[in-house]
Structure 1
Amino acid sequence: MVQSKLLPYAFFEGEFVPADQAKVSIATHALQYGTGVFGGIRGYLDRDGETINIFRLPDHARRLMQSARFLRAELPYDADRVAEIIVELVKRNAPTFDIYIRPFIYKADLELGPKLKGIRDELAIYMIPLQEYLPITHPIRLMVSSWRRVEDNIVPSRGKVSGAYINSALARDQAEECGFDDAIMLNAAGKVAEGSGANLFIVRGGALITTPVTADILEGITRRSLLEFARDLGIPIEEREIDRSELYICDEAFLCGTGVQIAPIGSIDGRPVGNGQIGPITARLQQVFFALVRGEESPYQHYLTRVKIEQPAGAR
């Protein structure tokens, strides 16, 4: 379980404020009905120790605003402005460690009744320190959950809708109570969708395989990045439906996402994946990803928003 203290400053109701002052009423519409959307963005401490590298910030800001369209949200910000606010907030917090950035757009009025139109919208952003969400240096143990992934025509799976994450919580709780690290969820058609809060890849016969965006999955930014890296490495790629039985005979498997990064899977439902260790394709993709975000020489440096951190006078 990830628990971490908020960094000192947040963005709330149009202003930069101390994080402990960014509070809402218990009657807030989003709290009562789950009428919010959010993003998850990582900032990595560069190897120079003085820069935070935010991974694909413009893409995350655009996806946040795309998700907001499902809420019919009306805000005085576009994606570029959201990205600017995030950069300013990083500067104000001046972290010297890896961070997780959580922007949240929500229905802010104290109004009764589940609806969307005509309710005031707000943007809030906070940050926490974050290292590993799931292990990345050793394989994790997953199970196929009995909870199905929510369908796109029930709750939009392309948006990070806060209320939909009860679906993820039920699956992950079940997995942890059964002694696993996380869950794999099937969709209504009985095909593999994704993890409880991450996209899923498998490897068979040297090909990297992942479920299509039409399989009730989140259109993951890390997922899209790894597909690009794999193509450039000459790794064959298949985007197609994955049957449950394929999970038991694949050579490698891993979860990916902003939170989990690239988390290798060692077993599924108690059955070893390959030899149960981190596979060569998984390891190669990890190498490319972490070299990039740590500021090493990389052809993908255009995906980083580099924020120079200036410590207050007298700070060490």
Structure 2
Amino acid sequence: MSGLTTLGAVGAVWLDGALVEPGEATLSVLSFGLHNAFCVFEGIRVHSGRPFAVAMHAQRLCDSAHEIGMSLPWTAPQIVAAVDTAVAAAGFTQAYVRPVAWLGDERIGIDGSGTTVHLAIGVVRWPESPASRPPLRLGLSRWTRPAPTMAPVGAKTSASYLVGSLALSQARADGYDDALLLDHRGYLAEATGANIFLVRGGELVTPIADTFLDGITRRTVLRLAADAGLPVRVERVTLDDLAAADEVFLTGTASGVAAVGHAAGTDYPADRPVTELLRGRYLDLVHAHRTRTGSEEASCTRSA
């Protein structure tokens, strides 16, 4: 749910402009990105042989790089083309694609200026989540999401995921599937690698994305809810709101729409009409379309 727990078969790797054998796709142990978390990445699902929302993911990779001052020498359309090349080479019907960009090994220390930007795109086999999967059990983490003045919260960086990894490890040790994190003000933020939605009285509620990543699946579900005529509120969400919800579900690229059966001490009914409605519409969408949303003229080479 909250990340790739077991790496599937690696079907293809694209590295710095060309396909390479997966076993030969390596990076230096002195890479600046490895030591200083100067790295941005994306996760893209392949459904029925097609990468979903690939243009949106490519643009977000560019935006994340720009946010931390990394100038990618590839445009968003070039990244889309590279993803398509890697997916075709892998030949998987259902897969997960990981584009990742980092700074190289030209220097060590804190200053990364003068280092080379690298981009890799890996494709691994990733089966569809079963419709009968049990609802998730979520604990409440002691870790919180940082304030926007403490980290680039709108960028998908490797540094941003350390808190989630720590929270997930503790949640698993405590017998939960995943963990919920509050923000620095005490409001509900997200799970370790997924956004959260509440349903109460037929109305959909989700937190304001000002301390965490505004997920592409989150945006997609908000649009699907509007299309279905469901009232939607994007607002501050408290733990009291969570306890009073009729339904709770998570959204993320790896897992789609996932029902929650227990969260932070509250059990939720087995009847989840809104969750199932949106899950069904989401699956219909990702299997039916190859989304090319986003500017095809967008560039990743903007100045920092």
TM-score (norm 1): 0.87
Correspondence for 2:221: 226
Correspondence for 2:301: none
Q: Residue type of the partner of 1:86?
A: V
- Paired positions, count: 290
Deviations 1:68-91 (A, max 9, x none): 112322232110110011101111
| Counterparts of 1:25 and 1:219, CA distance in 2 | 32
Q: Secondary structure at the match of 1:262?
A: strand
Q: Residue type of the partner of 2:81?
A: E
Please list every run of 5 or more consecutive structure 2 residues that lacks an aligned counterpart in the other structure.
294-304
Taking the TM superposition and a 5 Å limit, the aligned residue runs for 1:285-300 are 285-295=278-288
Structure 1 residues 113 and 93, CA gap change in structure 2 (3 angstroms): same
| Counterparts of 1:303 and 1:65, CA distance in 2 | 18
Deviations 1:116-145 (A, max 9, x none): 433211111101111367987321100111
Q: 2:245 aligns with which of 242, 250, 270?
A: 250
Q: 2:40 aligns with which of 37, 45, 52?
A: 37
Correspondence for 2:182: 186
| 2:114 counterpart of 1:114 | no
Deviations 1:195-249 (A, max 9, x none): 11111100111110001122x0101110001001000110000000000111111
Q: Secondary structure at the match of 1:137?
A: coil
Structure 1 residues 267 and 205, CA gap change in structure 2 (3 angstroms): same
Superposition deviation, residue 270 in structure 1: 3.3
| 2:29 counterpart of 1:9 | no
Contact 1:255/1:262 (<8 A) preserved: yes
Structure 1 residues 64 and 278, CA gap change in structure 2 (3 angstroms): farther
Superposition deviation, residue 13 in structure 1: 2.4
Superposition deviation, residue 190 in structure 1: 0.3
Contact 1:136/1:264 (<8 A) preserved: no
Please list every run of 5 or more consecutive structure 1 residues that lacks an aligned counterpart in the other structure.
46-51, 296-300, 306-316
Structure 1 residues 156 and 207, CA gap change in structure 2 (3 angstroms): same
Contact 2:106/2:114 (<8 A) preserved: no
| Counterparts of 1:302 and 1:86, CA distance in 2 | 13
| Counterparts of 2:117 and 2:131, CA distance in 1 | 36
Q: 1:101 aligns with which of 94, 97, 103?
A: 97
| Counterparts of 2:231 and 2:8, CA distance in 1 | 42
- Quote the sequence identity (%): 31
Q: 1:137 aligns with which of 133, 139, 158?
A: 133
Correspondence for 2:122: 126
Contact 2:45/2:51 (<8 A) preserved: yes
Q: Secondary structure at the match of 2:143?
A: coil
Correspondence for 2:29: 26
Q: 1:147 aligns with which of 143, 146, 155?
A: 143
Superposition deviation, residue 175 in structure 1: 0.8
| Counterparts of 1:134 and 1:196, CA distance in 2 | 21
| Counterparts of 1:156 and 1:116, CA distance in 2 | 17
| Counterparts of 2:160 and 2:130, CA distance in 1 | 21
TM-score (norm 2): 0.90
Superposition deviation, residue 105 in structure 1: 0.8
Superposition deviation, residue 154 in structure 1: 1.5
| Counterparts of 1:178 and 1:134, CA distance in 2 | 25
Structure 1 residues 202 and 266, CA gap change in structure 2 (3 angstroms): same
| Counterparts of 2:115 and 2:71, CA distance in 1 | 9
Q: Residue type of the partner of 1:73?
A: M
Runs of 4+ aligned structure 1 residues displaced above 6 Å come to 133-136
| Counterparts of 1:94 and 1:260, CA distance in 2 | 21
Q: 1:65 aligns with which of 39, 62, 74?
A: 62
Superposition deviation, residue 304 in structure 1: 6.6
| 2:300 counterpart of 1:303 | no
